[in-house]
Chains A and B, each alone.
Chain A
Amino acid sequence: MEKTYFDKAHFWGRLWSLAALGMLMCIPACFCLYYNIWPAAVGVMKGLIAVIPMFWTIAIVEVISYSPMLGVGGMYISFVSGNISNLKLPCAIAAMENAKVRANTEEGEVITTIATATSAITTTLIIAAGVLVFSPIMPYLTDENSIFAPAFQQVLPALFGALGASYFAKHFKLTVLPILTGVIVLVFAPSMGAGTLIPITVIVSLIGAQVMFKKNVV
């Protein structure tokens, strides 16, 4: 039986994913080899234990939920280049609308692949250009005594405020419980780092959402 385009796309995608995985691991490995320093495995493991439960759960949910919209090529491209929900996904959906094709058809597959690949190339070029243009002035912006120093100290509240705002507005009921949990935990353990606090708030948030979903509250 002749292989369909989808079969072939899966074959290429698998090869590229494995190559990307190799490259991803190659970056820290090259750094360690070049400078001949190796961080203590225990430290790295501790850091990983804090993020893996959430990151890997999100990965499963994302692979499953984006899959019907991004098609085969679009998935393999998007999960290598990243920025999916804020860039690749809306781009692919807009392209299908413009070309008047549907997802999960061969036409849709061709259009989403072209759209996500174009988007990945454009993003990569723009980020690289931005880095080259801005890197000479970075030291002046970020010096400890620079007038801009407080801005960089407050990156996290600024980032998570903006990131959270639209989620809070959309899912207010889901928001109250995890924030309250975080605050209460910190009342008793004020120095707890984000790495330890995250698994607690994520698990509480997931359980809360599941309960509210079952009870039809959300």
Chain B
Amino acid sequence: MGTGDFKISTFMYLLGAFVFVFVICQSAFFITKAWRQGKKIGISSKDMRNTVSSSILFTVAPAIAIVATVLTLANSLGIVLPWIRLSIIGNISYEVTAAESALNALGVAGGISQEVTDKTQFAAIMWVTSIGSCFPLILMPLILKKIQKKIGTVAKANAKWADLMAAAAFIGLISAFIARSIIGAGKEDIIGDGAGIVSVATLLFSIITMLILERLAEKFKLKWLEPFTMPLSMILAMGVAIILVQILPADIAILEWRG
């Protein structure tokens, strides 16, 4: 990884271990408290044990899918930072957006499609992802107790509006990236950065695969497939990019209409 070694240094792994221990401790603390309370109010140990085992089963598949997204970010950010970021308030679309935004602000060509080798840029990404995602941790101690008392009724009455606004914000975010994949210009010296045959083909293939897999999972009631539809579509579409670059004539494969 050349000059990028700091991304996978022992120090970074130590930071990762720190986050790992913190998340485990918090969860263990709450399980202990809830378990005691459960016994007190008469929930059987068997019911609580069942909750633990079914939750583990439920979680395994989506968690493996999260590992796949950690790997997709590892090219540019090394493997440790995506691991840290997706272990705490993690969410793939937030991380990608925040990292892209940080690099854009610093005027770095190519964004996260290129390996980040500069420590200062890397530090900027860490700050933007951390501060960008910290708001719930400020918000909850301030308002959660109040809203939990009131919200039950309000959310039920306006559930449709709340869902719609959350979806609209999310769609707005996705739209920016989709538009860039269709018609955005890249930097001149970087192949594959701007929109072109390969980016549009990857995008379309990913959308179509996702729709087909979701339909299959629903029609044949393939519960195990559901959590994998997204990572699978993503990985298959990335596979299509590899194949296209191999089989298309070189000048077509690197064609980017806006430069």
Contacts and interface: CB of A to CB of B under 8 A. Distances in A.
B8 interface: yes
B20 A124 contact: yes
A169 interface: yes
Contact of B70 (A60, A127, A195): A127
Main secondary structure of the interface of A (DSSP, over half): helix
The 3 closest A-B pairs by CB, nearest first: A182-B179, A161-B206, A205-B172
Given A20-B88, A58-B166, A182-B176, A126 B145 contact: no
10 contacts: A27-B15, A39-B124, A55-B133, A65-B162, A67-B147, A122-B60, A157-B202, A162-B209, A178-B172, A198-B101
A46 B192 CA distance: 26
A150 to B, nearest CB: 4
A24 B27 contact: no
Interface in B130-152: 130-141, 143-145, 147-148, 151-152
Contact of A51 (B80, B132, B139, B147): B132
A209 to B, nearest CB: 3
B155 A82 contact: no
Contacts of A72: 144, 148
Given A86-B62, A121-B24, A147-B242, A154 B94 contact: no
Contact of A160 (B16, B126, B200, B203): B203
Contact of B56 (A50, A122, A130): A122
Most B-side CB within 10 Å, residue of A16, A32, A187, A210: A16
Contacts of A106: 37, 41
Given A118-B55, A131-B80, A20 B22 contact: yes
Interface string A29-54: 01110110111100111111011101
B140 A79 contact: yes
Given A34-B11, A37-B123, 8 more contacts: A21-B137, A90-B58, A110-B41, A111-B48, A130-B67, A153-B192, A186-B184, A206-B165
Given A37-B123, A148-B242, A158-B234, A174 B171 contact: yes
B169 A80 contact: no
B136 A59 contact: yes
A216 to B, nearest CB: 11
A124 B59 CA distance: 10
Given A182-B179, A208-B168, A123 B66 contact: yes
Contacts of A125: 24
Contact of B91 (A32, A67, A83): A83
Contact of A186 (B140, B179, B206): B179
B26 to A, nearest CB: 5
B164 A213 contact: yes
Given A13-B140, A48-B132, A43 B173 contact: no
B86 A170 contact: no
B252 interface: no
A144 to B, nearest CB: 8
Contacts of B33: 8-9, 12, 73, 113
A109 B34 contact: yes
A21 B138 contact: yes
Contact of A202 (B169, B193, B207): B169
A91 B63 CA distance: 12
B135 A82 contact: no
